[in-house]
Chain A
Amino acid sequence: MVTYEVLQLIVFPGALFAICLAFLYEWVDRKLFARVQGRYGPLYTGPAGIMQPVADFLKLLSKEDIVPRACDANLFFAVPVMYATLPLATLFMMPIAAPEALIAFDGDLIFILFAFGMMTLIIFLAGWSSASRFSAIGSVRSALQMLSYEIPLGLVLVCPAIAAKSLSVSGIVQWQAANATLGAALQPIGLAVTMVCLLAELELVPFDIPEAETEIVAGWRTEFTGWRLALFRLGRDLEVLLVAALVASLYLGGAQPLWLIPATAMFVVKTAAVVMVFSFVRALFARLRIDQMISGMWKYLLPIAALQVVLVQIGVGV
């Protein structure tokens, strides 16, 4: 039995499955983004370019590893590893193959929120450890940005929890199934705010301020090469998957089987939809400036998020 659980953790629906899905979504994102711009996107690496993220990953693994002299060697080693493992570990708390996640406990939603905060902290460390000006600016921007979206995000994410009277993602998924309803239908405002905050969390346009290529090269990642960069990219892809899974679970019913369709398939369809919305939206905007972004978040998003909380309270109370 233990081997079965280990297998679950490592292969399906655990690490391996998550990594494959993460790579697939990177491809979906690049492809859709390219199509919006009237291009093909990756085309020749694997059928329709589907192996592109894998090729990128393998290539980076095979590249020379450069450690800048000025940087903190220990941190420089630890940061990429943490950046890749944290979202992977958090994914175990997402219901993927069944409405019940591999690891589910009351309060895992809080842990997930904490993980998002941690990701930003790691980014900050990454920029700081590489002792380069661009990286430092990138990481400071990243931290500033986090301060502005974390609070509205936390506010709206507890709304489904209040409605379902459960602080566990699995619990919220099951509550939606039991009541034959969707979070999105009950809390459309919450969904919208979550999407905006998560765009910021993922550092996508219009909030890709910490990575603004034309301003600060590649932001906090500027100095990383080889396997470190590969792990960053993997961690990034996993983060996208995590975010998509979170939206799918809290608002779209998550991994519930529908008639004959297994839960996993529903999960994949829903997360893919979320990823596609993200990549479509990021094609439509110009990048904001950090001060504009922060003031916008505080001025508009926070009140809306608060409004959503009040609405949910009223709904639950009645």
Chain B
Amino acid sequence: MGYASTVKMPFGPQHPALKEPEHFLFELDGDTVVGVTPRIGYVHRGIEKALELSTYGHGLYLAERICGICTVAHTCCYTQAIEELMGIEVPPRAKYIRTIMSELERLHSHSLWVGLVAHEAGFDTLFMYAWRDREAILSLFQEITGGRVLHAINTLGGVRRDISPELADKIRCTMEYFEGRVKDYRRIIRTEPTFLKRTRDVGVLKPSDAAKLDAVGPTLRGSGIKEDVRRDDPYIAYDEMPFNVISSDGCDVFARTEVRVEEMMESIGIIRYALDRMPAGVFRVRAPRNAPAGECVSRVEAPRGEDMHFARSDGTAKPERYKVRAPTLANIPALCRMLVGIHVADIPIILAGIDPCFSCMDRMVVVRGGRASGTLQSKRDV
């Protein structure tokens, strides 16, 4: 039983490997996956409609709740879009604070992810260590913003709280500690043979496929393509920050892990630089209630890749159309490509490899494979 010619194996919506409810229907031939039908939409909450029905100020809190992991990315993207529509310029100090928050978020998100990928590989001890160390970042968040996960710090016209010199010292101090920890992860993932066995040559995504299927973020950079919105299309204060865009040529789960760990080192560098050079002055300007008619595209490099918001205003206090495209959705075609032809036991680790966060994906996705026919478009190329 279970090993007949091709069997269908459901995966989710409630499954220990997915902390979020999603459903994948795998077609198996023995122990090999021959087809994937993602069936998403379990987390579809209707945020786009809600955003169009709420004022710019209230919408900020909905944008923040597109996802609890990259809230800073989404609020940066939201505020940036609305500020462009309103025509307000954010004070430089606020830009620096947003940059610091974005990078802290990258640290927390990537270390969370290192833990998760370890967990998927059955490496619970590393998972525990990574999450323990992540707490240091969360307490920083708590000190800076008053909340551990949803920060409510970005606001239209700047940020709501300042980073005082004492706080800056605390951040530096935590960075010192965290740098040591990241180096330790780097050593562990590069040398632990069982972990390497599970991640090397698993979930291969060729650079040409990655580019054609428009993968984003570490998934793309793990296939050797150096693209990063922070460098290519600088926003907030990134044009003043020195940092390297990390990529790795492995094209497998291990390469994606490596990219993330190295990015953490870069983030620490950016935070230090920004703290040292933070301009003085106000950190918030008043935002008007209404935005004049207009439209704009706003892009942000979230920890998982490029996040894009499109806003169109009509002169009222509410957006006329607000569109969100979050990184996980962009990675789905590439994910389906990776999942075909692999071993069943590798499914969780490959899924985890793109760091899928469905809550943002479903914000809009309505791709639901039909019973027999429906698969994602990528299936067609396979």
Contacts and interface: CB of A to CB of B under 8 A. Distances in A.
Interface residues of B, number: 33
Interface of B: 1-3, 7, 9-10, 15-17, 31, 118-126, 128-129, 132, 192, 194-195, 197-198, 343-348
B132 A212 contact: no
Nearest to A284: B125
A214 B15 CA distance: 8
Nearest to B16: A213
Contacts of A206: 122, 194
Nearest to B345: A289
Contacts of A73: none
Question: Dominant SS at the B interface?
Answer: helix
Interface in A1-60: 36-39
B123 A285 contact: yes
A290 B3 CA distance: 15
Contacts of A133: 2, 7, 9-10
B10 to A, nearest CB: 8
B128 A208 contact: no
A291 B343 contact: yes
A289 B198 contact: yes
Interface string A133-147: 100110010000000
A165 B270 CA distance: 69
Given A36-B125, A213-B16, A286 B195 contact: yes
A209 B345 contact: yes
A215 B347 contact: yes
A62 interface: no
Given A37-B128, A133-B9, A205-B122, 12 more contacts: A36-B125, A137-B344, A205-B123, A206-B122, A209-B345, A212-B122, A214-B119, A215-B348, A285-B194, A286-B194, A288-B197, A289-B345
Nearest to A207: B122
A133 B194 CA distance: 27
Residue in B124, B195, B198 whose Cβ sees the most chain A Cβ within 10 Å: B124
Interface in A166-182: none
A287 B118 CA distance: 9
A298 to B, nearest CB: 16
Contact of A215 (B10, B195, B345): B345
Contact of B17 (A39, A214, A286, A291): A214
B344 A288 contact: no
B1 A128 contact: yes
A283 interface: yes
Contacts of B198: 286-289
A140 B344 CA distance: 13
A211 to B, nearest CB: 10
A272 B120 CA distance: 30
Interface string A262-288: 000000000000000000000111111
Interface in A96-155: 128, 133, 136-137, 140
B2 A140 contact: yes
B121 A286 contact: yes
Contacts of A291: 31, 343
Contacts of B347: 215
A37 B129 CA distance: 7
Contacts of B16: 213-214, 217
A292 interface: yes
A234 to B, nearest CB: 24
A291 B342 CA distance: 13
Contact of B3 (A39, A140, A213, A289): A140
A215 B343 CA distance: 11
Contacts of A286: 118, 121-123, 126, 192, 194-195, 197-198
A212 B118 CA distance: 13
Interface string A244-276: 000000000000000000000000000000000
Contacts of A128: 1
A38 B7 CA distance: 42
B15 A217 contact: yes
A156 B121 CA distance: 30
A52 B198 CA distance: 33
A208 B121 CA distance: 11
A103 B1 CA distance: 39
A206 B15 CA distance: 21
Contacts of B17: 213-215
Interface in A156-212: 205-206, 208-209, 212
Interface in A274-318: 283-292
A213 to B, nearest CB: 5
A287 B121 contact: yes
19 contacts: A133-B2, A137-B2, A137-B344, A140-B2, A205-B124, A209-B345, A214-B16, A214-B17, A214-B119, A214-B120, A214-B348, A215-B17, A215-B347, A217-B16, A286-B122, A286-B123, A287-B198, A290-B31, A291-B31
Nearest to B199: A286
B335 to A, nearest CB: 17
